[in-house]
Structure 1
Amino acid sequence: MDPAPANTDSRPPPAHVPLATEPLGILGSLKAARSNLLSILPEIAVRQPMVSGQTGIRWHMIMDPDAIRRVLLENVDNYPKSKTTKNILRPAIGDSLFVAEGAHWRWQRRAAAPVFSQRNMLALAPVMSAAAGRSADRIATTGDRPTDFLQEMVRTTFDVISDVTFSGDGTFDAEAVHRAIDLYIDEAAKVSLLDMLGIPDWVPRPARLFTGKAVGQMKAVADEAIEARRNRGPGGVPDLLDLLMAGEDPETAKAMNTSELRDNLLTFIVAGHETTALTLAWSLYLCAYDPDVQARARAEAQSVMQGDTATGEEAARMPLIRQIVDEALRLYPPAGILSRTAQAPDVLCARDIRAGDTVMIPIYALHRNHMLWDNPNAFDPSRFEDRKSVERYAYLPFGDGPRICIGASFAIQEAVIILATLLARFRFDLVQGRDPEPVMILTLRPDTGVWLTAKAL
């Protein structure tokens, strides 16, 4: 890709994770993985196309775009999601699109794809604008007090996903569902030593044995809401549940049953608001880190917006704000590491891959690789002025290939609408001594929050 202009800023780069400079071994890797998965990444991963090793099981990290294209597109059937990933997520979200493989995944994808058409996304934009307005009203009450904007963005995107999923009809306790999934992730999503040693799946992982009650209650609540909607029928503007219930596989005419609808809805609810909330929190942090970029973005928003909140059509006419979102996703990709398990021998970067090997795409390291990006730790939204200059498999915040995130356009539209609305009304500043720390367990989060002040304009 064409390098971005050299950054002459004398400030230290925005928050980042020091990567490992020495081999960690099995126990060291386990300790690191349970506290911050990013800390298992070797520093050479940001300077090399591929790194391999063995920590109980053979593993390979690939940062070469051609090798990544082979894994995610050209030979995708040979690289299903890793067993560890499935073991972590399946108890909570079943065989939804995020976890399913093969024919079961393909028909669900065909049935769900029309739900996320541009027309449907624009129809849902007013919900995003309304949530952005409510967020701005809450922020206006904070005065000069430092505020954790991660929590504010979680609340805002939660409002969005609840309304676009169930139209706020009161038949679904979405907050209870979210709490249950948070509990599951906190307790069960941590990497087990048994996973790292390659112990078979049928051997129980102790941390995953104590969350079944919460997950069972969550699924029961979702099932009841789905059946209530079947009995009531759709309302005015179709929400995600209406669209999914009406969807069918164009090849087989198969539609989702209640459990399939539930698993996919729970996936959309959690992933759909968690990842966008993180993107927005990091975007606000980066705007506070670089006041000049923030001022230009504010001027753009104020020149385009006709009201107090951005609309879907206006969001498409704010390129700098979109570039800020893109750069936040580069520096802090919510899914910092993708993991696959090779089913048959292959060759990547002239290196032999054996059946059973773990193949990782460390998105965090890929997005900061010195072979692919100029001054990769710097915040520079101008990298995305010409998106065609960005090598496709060097930038993967939503994955790629047939399994690219189905909700990517939803997330980008939501992030631009909310960010533009907030920048038009407030100036955001850092809180000294409270810089965020990027930590990844399942998603890449600011461990202690994103603390900023917001001054009304």
Structure 2
Amino acid sequence: MSSSDLPVHAALATQPLGLWGSLRAARSNLLTILPEIAVRQPMVSGRTGLRWHMVMDPGAIRRILLEKVDDYPKSNATKNILRPAIGDSLFIAEDAHWRWQRRTAAPVFSHRNVMNLAPVMSTAAERSADRIGLAGERGIDLLDEMVRTTFDVISDVTFSGQDTFDSDGVHRAIDAYIGEAGKISLFDMLGLPDWIPRPGRLLSGKAVGQMKKVADEAIEARRLRGASDIPDLLDLLLAGEDPETKRQMNTSELRDNLLTFIVAGHETTALTLAWSLYLCAFDKTVQEQARNEVRSVLSGRTAAGEDVDNLPYIRQIVDEALRLYPPAGIISRTAQRHDTLCAREVRPGDTVMIPIYALHRNHMLWEEPDAFRPDRFADRKAVDRYAYLPFGDGPRICIGASFAIQEAVIILATLLARFDFDLVSGRAPDPVMILTLRPNTGVWLTAKPL
């Protein structure tokens, strides 16, 4: 299969980068630090300041994420990047502090609650389609549009009907923080202590402070107003308690977790949708098959929560987009104890990475791994659970995975029902990872109304 038959992919490293080369690569595109042999081997190890291991073997990954999860907490670099913005929320908390928060928040994302939020997703999908329709024959950046759409969703399901919440201000602060603080520091790569300030993260502190202030004010206003008839995420979290200790989240804990849900809940789904639309435009046969499914199920109406299970091919496209372009392209852990992975020694303090991007394209695990083939997921049971990890796995699997899948299927189905999407010549997206794997130059498509 020639490169012209394949969707865009990152160029991986074909020779050692060294410390300075790795730093330059990590600050411009983390994917370029991945060695090309990572898509052909079960494990790759080396030293760049710190000893590191990249693991692509499903059995070893199961050990890291499930069997020995307490021996592999999130890496110090990950915590250093995210803690200023989201504190010790679910995403980076460890041990007992993580467990009680997880027990408190898990019911919020129950199937019933997620289904109750589906009308918000359907309404946002229709608003997005109306905006896209205004472009006429001009190319439109679907990444920008999907970011706007999914932020509308997460704002509405988090702070519904609350005029005091400055969603645009929070959105700007998130973008400012990710743009600067998300870059790996030389101090991180050298393993210097956490208390040594990372300059880029200090520069973004003002935006983060304002974002937290806005969220705190919105939480206090909701405490005074009380819950809505159909509770949103904030209502559910305010009412939630740890079933074991009966502990409830205070304002700062609520804020940190809400900001985590806002950052993760719109950015990752927006990226999934933008890449899905690009892939549908790349392969018009897939797009037409998806549209036929949508027409037969929806018959001209907007997609709703109860339609998700009846749109399996749309779900397969989303799954394949998440395989080719996982929003979290690399996850990182720090080993706490001696261990053996793939017959290789792991020492305390070693950085252990699971490069999801390389795992999802590993030739030992996938046939034609760089090709776009949604039918891979026609039988989900045929896919090795630890070969496909868009939401992680084990006890720390993404708490909002079902929310994200439902939202992506509803929005993608709605847009495919109304438009035929085509690529814009000379405007191919460029896969770049800083904090998340983004199409760096946008996803430029034309959308012909049907």
TM-score, normalisation: structure 1 = 0.97
Match of residue 431, structure 2, among 431, 438, 446: 438
Alignment of 1:20-31 (within 5 A): 20-31=13-24
In 1, the alpha carbon distance for the partners of 2:83 and 2:191 equals: 18
User: Is 1:39 the equivalent of 2:32?
Assistant: yes
Aligned mates of 2:307, 2:89 — CA distance in 1: 33
| Aligned equivalent of 2:130 | 137
Please, which of 99, 123, 126 is the counterpart of residue 116 of structure 2? 123
Of 31, 47, 50, the residue aligned with 1:54 is 47
Match of 1:358 among 351, 361, 364: 351
Residue 349 (structure 1) aligned with residue 317 (structure 2):
no
- Post-superposition offset of 1:212: 1.5
Contact 1:133–1:308 (CA<8 Å) still a contact in 2?
A: no
Residue 338 (structure 1) aligned with residue 331 (structure 2)? yes
1:235 and 1:120 map into 2 onto residues whose CA distance is 13
Q: In the alignment, which of 210, 231, 239 is matched to residue 238 of structure 1?
A: 231
Aligned to 2:312: 319
Alignment partner of 2:261 out of 263, 268, 277: 268
1:300 pairs with 293, 296, 302, which one?
A: 293
Give the Cα separation in 2 of the matches to 1:316 and 1:141: 31
Paired residue secondary structure (1:209) = helix
Instruction: Report the secondary structure of 2:203's partner residue.
Output: coil
Runs of 5+ consecutive residues of structure 1 not aligned to the other structure: 1-7
| Contact 1:162 1:168 (C-alpha < 8 Å) held by counterparts | no
**Matches of 2:291 and 2:159, distance apart in 1:** 33
Query: Which whole-Å deviations, capped at 9, do the CAs of 1:156-202 have from their partners, x for residues lacking one?
Result: 10110010001132121122112112111111111111111111112
Give the C-alpha shift of residue 213 in structure 1.
1.6
SS in 2 for 1:103: helix
Q: Which runs of 5+ in 2 are unaligned?
A: none
Corresponding residue SS for 2:310: coil
Q: Distance in 2 between matches of 1:325 and 1:96?
A: 28
Superposition map of 1:41-440 within 5 A = 41-440=34-433
Post-superposition offset of 1:306: 4.3
- Using the TM superposition, give the Cα deviation of residue 309 of structure 1 relative to its aligned residue in structure 2, in angstroms: 1.4
- SS in structure 2 at match of 1:432: coil
Identity in percent: 77
Distance 1:305 1:154, change over 3 A: same
Count of residues in Structure 1 that have an aligned counterpart in Structure 2? 450
Deviation at 1:12, TM superposition (A): 2.6
Tell me the TM-score normalized by structure 2: 0.99
Q: CA deviation at 1:308?
A: 3.2
User: Equivalents in 2 of 1:290, 1:391: separation in Å?
Assistant: 26
| Secondary structure in 1 matching 2:438 | strand
Q: Distance in 2 between matches of 1:178 and 1:92?
A: 13
CA distance in 2, matches of 1:192, 1:266: 23
Any idea what SS the aligned residue of 1:84 has? helix
**How far apart, CA to CA, are the structure 2 residues paired with 1:79 and 1:168?**
41
SS at match of 1:234: coil
